[in-house]
Amino acid sequence: MPTSTQNVQTILNNLKQAYPNAKYELDWETPLQLLVATILAAQCTDERVNKVTKTLFPKYPTAQAYAEVDILELEEDLKPTGFYRNKAKTVKSMCQDLVERYGGEVPKTMDELVTLPGVARKTANVVLNTAFNMPSGIIVDTHVARVSQRMGLTKRKTPETIEQELMLLVPQEEWTFWGPAVVLHGRYTCTAKKPKCSECVLKNVCEKIGVTTTDN
Partner DNA sequence: CTCCCGATAT
Partner DNA sequence: ATATCAGGAG
Residues that bind DNA (CB under 7 A): 24-26, 38-39, 41-46, 79, 82-86, 90, 117-124, 126, 141-143, 146, 159, 180, 183-184, 186-187, 192-194
Distance CA 188, CA 25 (A): 13
| Integer Cα distance of 210 and 77 in angstroms | 39
| Whole-number Å distance between alpha carbons of 183 and 192 | 12
215 is catalytic: no
Q: Are 123 and 137 in contact (CB under 8 A)?
A: no
Is 46 annotated in the active site? no
Cα separations in angstroms, 109 against 2, 103, 129, 135: 33, 15, 11, 11
From the list 77, 87, 92, 122, the catalytic residue is 122
Q: Confirm whether residue 95 is marked as ligand binding.
A: no
Indicate the residue among 39 and 67 with the shorter CB distance to DNA. 39
Between 107 and 118, CB nearer to DNA: 118
Calpha distance 82→181 (Å, rounded): 26
Name the active-site residue from 141, 155, 193, 194: 141
44 labelled binding-site residue:
no
Residues 209 and 118: their CA atoms lie apart, in Å, by 32
Cβ closest to DNA, residue 6 vs residue 72: 72
User: Residue 4 or 187: which CB sits closer to DNA?
Assistant: 187
At closest approach, how far in Å is the CB of 130 from DNA? 9
CB closer to DNA out of 16 and 48? 48
Binding positions for [4Fe-4S] cluster: 190, 197, 200, 206
Catalytic residue set:
122, 141
